[in-house]
A and B are shown apart, each in its own frame.
Chain A
């Protein structure tokens, strides 16, 4: 059994929010560097250079990478033998988000309800996805998900008869309709299978994977490579002004599904792929 004080969770979540919003993860920096080498459009190369300068400016000035510091999407893996002391998990995370967004000068972008659109003033509540896992570890990952790319995401309940070809067409269609609005170069999370809600969730969880990994399933890995190639043939390019590099990576995850179903979710992430995590172990 591991006891973790709720206040420790809040303090760590606050740090993760600030870190996610101001530090571009090293794998993303490396991918933008590599993309700049491969980009043939001069204007595209120039834009990729400026994105690297942006990461440096954020670090030096203590300013977020992007003004849309998002809604905090928090993924939790909580061991069955973890006990939170002095509070509840959800409250501890929400308190951490509130602290982090205040202390880090991050934008408060959450409204109480789409029906009245009043700002909650502290960027809470976060969206929390918690999973119970064996053991006594607690892992918390914070993703600051901006609306520019999130708004361009799509989910479609396809027919098994549409097959992989249908899936590919839908992914490309989603990226094409996102165009410049989603701030390419993108990271594209694709969920295949599961139920309606599970499909969206696995698409989103893909966005936390290191950019240079592959799905261990060879069929899914091959689809990742093929989709990346197809997306980079669209010509959208950095910021949509043309070029070879429209996406930095495509991540595919599958889940078992009903014999009559083919759910497909495309969760789009901009180049400012902001997430950070901590494990109590």
Chain B
């Protein structure tokens, strides 16, 4: 089993993600993603939930897309973005099933998801990826362009469109109910 894991090659993904893309992923799989991410964290999720409740359009079409839970630091001169690592995903749990229902295919963050989110990931065929928490400077180098999409008044929490190249992550929750955190603990726990 260990051997198998050690030999796991990085799977390259390009957005938008299809059903086939996510069906091929398994918890624990390292991936490198290229294409587009949309940023959203606490405040933007709250607004999207309100928009859904009021029957309004969302700021972008969720189908096939990946939301990156991040609130970057301001871009220094001559750089497209400041530090941009993942934030804790659990805070977005209550808003997530409604987004998955509307076609969202991937989320990047850190930390465990609720049972409800894991069930929705299975139901709507999606994946939750773990990013490198606390590696904001390293990850910023994989972001090649940033454009504001909506909710500018939220500052760092606004929705932005990022173009990314070979952005590293690990599949945490797959659409078969697999959970890399749970599996890792079972394998490495000594007590």
Contact = CB atoms under 8 A, between A and B. Distances in A.
A47 interface: yes
A47 B132 contact: yes
A233 B189 CA distance: 6
A95 to B, nearest CB: 19
B191 A233 contact: yes
Given A68-B87, A237-B188, A62 B136 contact: no
B132 A50 contact: yes
Contact of B188 (A50, A180, A230, A243): A243
Contacts of A63: 73, 76, 79, 82-83, 136-137, 140
B106 interface: no
Given A179-B112, A237-B188, A239-B110, A65 B155 contact: no
A151 B88 contact: yes
A244 B188 contact: yes
Contacts of A83: none
Nearest to A244: B188
Contact of A180 (B74, B110, B187): B110
A108 B140 contact: no
Contacts of B181: 179-180, 240-241
Nearest to B153: A119
Contact of B130 (A69, A107, A147, A239): A239
A271 B135 CA distance: 10
A67 B130 contact: no
B141 A57 contact: yes
Nearest to A270: B134
A53 B134 CA distance: 12
Q: Which of B83, B87, B156, B172 has the most chain A CB atoms closer than 10 A to its own CB?
A: B83
A58 to B, nearest CB: 4
A93 to B, nearest CB: 21
Contact of A108 (B137, B138, B156): B156
B84 interface: yes
Interface residues of B, number: 50
Interface in B78-100: 79, 82-85, 87-88, 90
A171 to B, nearest CB: 13
A64 B137 contact: yes
A240 B111 contact: yes
A61 B135 contact: no
Interface residues of A: mostly helix, strand, loop or mixed?
loop
A148 B72 CA distance: 14
B136 A105 contact: no
Contacts of A119: 155
Interface in B112-148: 112, 130, 132-141
A180 B189 contact: no
B20 interface: no
Interface string A36-78: 0000011100010011011101100111111111000000000
A69 B112 CA distance: 22
A43 B5 contact: yes
20 contacts: A43-B5, A50-B132, A51-B135, A54-B135, A63-B79, A64-B82, A65-B137, A67-B71, A67-B73, A106-B74, A147-B88, A180-B111, A180-B130, A180-B172, A236-B184, A239-B110, A239-B130, A240-B110, A243-B188, A270-B134
Complex A-B, nearest 10 residue pairs according to Cβ-Cβ distance, in ascending order: A242-B184, A181-B111, A235-B188, A235-B189, A58-B137, A183-B133, A233-B190, A54-B138, A57-B137, A54-B135
Interface of A: 41-43, 47, 50-51, 53-55, 57-58, 61-69, 105-109, 117, 119, 147-148, 151, 179-183, 230, 233-237, 239-244, 270-272
Given A107-B73, A180-B130, A239-B130, 17 more contacts: A42-B6, A54-B134, A62-B76, A63-B79, A63-B82, A64-B137, A66-B134, A66-B135, A67-B71, A67-B87, A108-B156, A117-B43, A181-B110, A183-B134, A234-B185, A242-B185, A243-B188
